[in-house]
Every structure is written in C-alpha cells, then in structure tokens.
C-alpha cells in the first residue's frame, strides 16, 4: 500500500507501507505518465516538477507487483522565477535584495522558483501563504560576512508594554543573529524541491570562538511561533548552529529531506523542535556534528513563563547517522515532552540511540512521558538506550553538588519527572558501551520502562566509553542492561550477546518482571 504524505502545487511525497526500517526490502521504480521518475530502496520517495492543479497517475513497480496511486496537485496563484527580480545566482554577486523583494512581492498562494544556480545571500524573512521551490541544482548559500547579519532581540516591548518574543537559543530567550531563513508569526509556508539550503558555516567563523560573539549563532531555518510549515525534499547543510529550529510552532512537517554537516562541526543538530505541537519528521536522512533530532521545551525560566510542552511528535522511516544521539529529548525540557513516537527508523554509528538528558533544576513541569520506540534497527550505535537524569553539560551549575549528589533530596519546584518509556521490536548490532543505561533520581524515580522483543549484540572489538554525560561517570564496555531508580521494569523477550558481567543490573525499583530474557 502506498500512502500519500504530501501534495503541493509542484511536488508530492509518498510512503511505502511495510515493516522494514527506512529501506524497502527490494528496489522499486516509480513511473509517472509512463516515464520513470525515480528508482530506489527508500520507503519514502518524492516526485517533483509537477504542474499545478493537475491530475496524475503514479505507478510503483516492484519485481512481482505494481501499485497505482492517483492524486491531484494543488492550485496556485502564480509561479515567478526569482531571476525576474534581478537575482544572479552565480555565487559571487549577493542576491539578498532580489530574493527578499521577490518574497515580499509575490501574491498569496504564489510559488517563488529558483532555477539552477548558487544564490549568495544574507538572512531572509519569510511571509505567509507562499511556496519557495529550489530546483535540483539550486543552492541558497549563506554569506560568511557575520557583521552584516542583523541581531534579533529576544523580546521587544510594543507601544503598550506587551512583550513580543522573537529569539531564543538553548532553552533561553536571548538575542540571536537572524537565521538564514527566518519566519516569525507566519503560516502556510512550503519550502520544496531537490535543491540545497547551505549555511556555509565551514567557510566563515561561525564554528570558531562562537562563545565570544555578541549574540547567539543563527540557524539555517528558524521558525518562531509559526503554523503549517512544510519542508519537502530539500537538503539543509552546514548551518552556523542547529540546522532547523521550529520554536513555539504548530503543525511542522519535514518530509524526505536531508540534513548534513561534518562530524566535527559544533552544535549542528539536524532539527530541534522546541515547545512545538504536532511535528512530523518522515523519510528524512541526517548526518551531523551533534544530535540528529533533539526535542526540547526550554529551560525552567522559559517553561514557567509560557507553560508550553512539546507534544505529538511523529518520527518515522528516518535514517540517522554519526550524530551524538539519533533521537534526543532535552536537555532543555522544562515545560515537558509527551507523546513522542519513533518507528521504523535506522540508526547508524551514532553515540546513542535514544538519549534523554535531564537533571535536577529542570523543574516540576518537566514531565517526560509516553515515549515509544518501535521497529528500530541500530548499527554500530555505542549505547542504544540512554535515560540520564544527571546531565552535567551546558548549565553554569553543572558541577555543583545539587546536580551530582546521590542523596534523596527534597522534591520541590525544581524537580523533574519521567513517566512511561516503551522500547519494542528493536535490533541493535555492534554496540560497544552498554545495551541500555537508565539512571533516575532517587527522589523522583522513573515511573515505568518496558523492553519487549529487543536484541543487542556487542562488537568483538568494542571500545570503552561513557554511556551518559554525568559527573564522576565511569567508562563501561559491553555493559548489559543497567537500571537505577525506576519504579516498574518490564523485560520481555530480550536477548543480549557479548555482555561482560551481569546481563541485568537493577537497583532501587519497586517491581520488576522478566520473561524470555537471555
């Protein structure tokens, strides 16, 4: 069965329904009007260069079967070539004014089209009800001239004294350089095509001495309090910091996109939805210098001010490679995170698979619950599952006794809480450090952890490492399942291979059940 994920005026995205993580069990071809337009193995595929308001019949051909899907593209008011506004696209002349003028002028429901070329630009501001299409060989290239990037205030007071928020980073409202593509309080935007948004971070000073800058670094795409935004097909690369940062936004979709940056690039997370509701990340490929996906909801001051949790995040049929964590929750999660579903994904050579980063001080609204991992394959992931309530990075008080004390401290307004976590139908090969490392707080134990139909095998040449970033952490190698301060533990049909020492270590729990554990 073929599911239609998205159809716009000039592109559409589809998903093959099967149980294989990211890749289809066999190669297939896609034909449109009798012509082959795609051939590959991915479960999610797209077609581009379609005509608006047109009926299409698409055929997906496997070795022994074929399925046909009919769909009609959306209508649009117009399609305007950005060169009509004077954009040059030679990678030398700056095209900022031409591009921004085109964005400002194009009619609602219009499409701004970028033909082949490299469009050198300073930051651009989005407006509502438009589509931006980057053709296959079109590159939107960020300028390296940091002095010409506007600094956006975190908050501006209007004439009546009302606060209007505009910028934030790492869970704090703070001034930031305008991002390469930035939207504030806008809706109904689509950025589509096979082209590339390139932050050009490697050629400027964005990755060097950034803690000395007068404001926080820009992102490649920053969406502040936006609604109904879709990125489809595009590649986002080499951002100054996080690549895609939806911030207090709703209905955000990232479909069949790629995000890439060198492994050594600092804090170049692929996508970090922060205090967002209804986020779909489907059919995407990530290879970056930090976390692939990091779901956030701010630090405690911002959480107490706005009370906006992260909710309803769906991650499916994605490939995560080389990042610190494939899926991370936190560490800025003070308003809470709930209803996160990660299914049918493939993780390769990330440091961790699931990575939850919390700590004392995140606050009483920091309730993380209803997190599901199902049908996941991990290859050479050092530690497949990490839930760490002792995270010791970023914050000024990271090394204080309040953070590292193993004593049962009083529960107060600063105490976070973790609820239900389910890990099902997972195959993890060539792990190194630990199969599962879960470390809760003594005064606020994790409610429940379920492991069902999970297999983890360790590499024969596994090297020791630290499973979780916490004070006084010990290196481990081929550690099995470690759980501390979890109220209820369920281990069913779990197989471990190559463990050194005990397969299951559990301390400070109320109830534990094991069935079919090897």
> Which are the contacts of 80, defined by CB distance < 8 A and separation ≥ 6?
102, 106, 110, 111, 112, 113
Q: Point out the residues that are catalytic.
A: 290, 324
The encoded tokens of residue 487 equal 């109220």
DSSP state letter for 161: S
Strand order from edge to edge, sheet including 352-357: 293-295, 325-330, 352-357, 383-388, 434-439, 479-484, 504-507
Residue (of 174, 182, 221, 177) closest to 199 by Cα position: 221
Distances (CA, A) of 373 to 339, 342, 353, 424: 11, 5, 10, 6
CA distance 362 to 360: 6
Residue (of 333, 376, 317, 316) closest to 352 by Cα position: 376
Write out the H or E segment, with its range, that includes residue 305.
helix 300-306
CA distance 289 to 321: 10
Asked if residue 464 lies in contact with residue 509, where contact means CB atoms within 8 angstroms, the answer is no
CA distance 58 to 71: 8
> Which are the contacts of 125, defined by CB distance < 8 A and separation ≥ 6?
100, 103, 178, 182, 183, 184
Torsion, Cα of 475, 479, 485, 490 (10° steps):
160
Half-sphere exposure of residue 42: CA atoms within 13 angstroms, side-chain side: 20
* Gyration radius of the chain over CA positions: 23
Residue (of 210, 242, 244, 216) closest to 230 by Cα position: 244
CA distance 485 to 305: 30
CA distance 414 to 388: 16
Write out the H or E segment, with its range, that includes residue 104.
helix 96-105
Give the Cα-Cα-Cα angle 59, 60, 62 (nearest 5 degrees): 135
User: Residue for token digits 């991990």?
Assistant: 378
């Amino acid at each position: 069965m073929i599911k239609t994920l998205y159809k716009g005026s000039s592109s559409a995205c589809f998903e093959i329904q099967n149980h294989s993580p990211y890749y289809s069990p066999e190669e297939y071809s896609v034909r449109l009007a009798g012509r082959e337009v795609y051939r590959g193995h991915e479960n999610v595929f797209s077609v581009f260069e379609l005509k608006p308001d047109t009926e299409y019949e698409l055929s997906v051909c496997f070795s022994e079967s074929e399925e046909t899907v009919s769909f009609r593209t959306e209508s649009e008011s117009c399609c305007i070539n950005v060169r009509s506004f004077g954009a040059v696209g030679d990678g030398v002349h700056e095209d900022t004014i031409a591009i921004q003028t085109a964005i400002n002028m194009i009619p609602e429901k219009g499409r701004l089209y970028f033909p082949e070329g490299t469009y050198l630009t300073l930051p651009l501001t989005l407006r509502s009800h438009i589509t931006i299409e980057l053709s296959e060989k079109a590159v939107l290239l960020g300028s390296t001239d940091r002095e010409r990037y506007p600094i956006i205030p975190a908050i501006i007071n209007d004439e009546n004294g009302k606060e209007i928020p505009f910028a934030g980073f790492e869970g704090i409202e703070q001034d930031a350089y305008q991002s390469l593509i930035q939207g504030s309080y806008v809706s109904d935007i689509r950025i589509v095509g096979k082209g590339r948004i390139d932050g050009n971070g490697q050629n400027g000073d964005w990755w060097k001495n950034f803690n000395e800058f007068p404001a926080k670094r820009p992102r490649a795409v920053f969406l502040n309090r936006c609604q109904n935004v879709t990125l489809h097909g595009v590649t986002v690369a080499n951002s100054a910091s996080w690549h895609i940062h939806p911030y207090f936004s709703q209905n955000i979709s990232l479909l069949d996109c790629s995000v890439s940056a060198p492994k050594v690039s600092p804090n170049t997370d692929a996508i970090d939805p922060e205090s967002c509701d209804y986020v779909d990340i489907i059919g995407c490929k990530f290879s970056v210098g930090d976390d692939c996906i990091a779901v956030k909801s701010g630090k405690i001051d911002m959480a107490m001010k706005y009370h906006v949790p992260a909710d309803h995040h769906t991650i499916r049929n994605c490939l995560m490679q080389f990042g610190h964590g494939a899926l991370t929750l936190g560490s800025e999660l003070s308003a809470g995170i709930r209803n996160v579903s990660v299914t049918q994904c493939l993780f390769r050579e990330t440091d961790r698979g699931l990575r939850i980063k919390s700590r004392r001080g995140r606050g009483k609204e920091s309730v993380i619950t209803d997190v599901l991992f199902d049908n996941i394959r991990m290859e050479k992931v050092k530690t497949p599952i990490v839930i760490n309530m002792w995270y010791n990075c970023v914050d000024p008080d990271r090394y204080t006794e309040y953070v590292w004390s193993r004593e049962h401290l009083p529960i107060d307004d600063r105490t976070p809480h973790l609820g239900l976590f389910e890990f099902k139908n997972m195959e993890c090969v060539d792990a190194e450090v630990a199969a599962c490392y879960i470390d809760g707080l003594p005064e606020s134990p994790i409610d429940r952890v379920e492991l069902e139909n999970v297999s983890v095998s360790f590499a024969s040449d596994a090297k020791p490492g630290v499973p979780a970033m916490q004070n006084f952490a010990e290196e481990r190698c081929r550690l099995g399942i470690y759980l501390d301060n979890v109220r209820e533990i369920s281990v069913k049909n779990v197989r471990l291979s190559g463990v050194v020492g005990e397969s299951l270590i559990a301390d400070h729990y109320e109830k534990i059940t094991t069935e079919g554990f090897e």
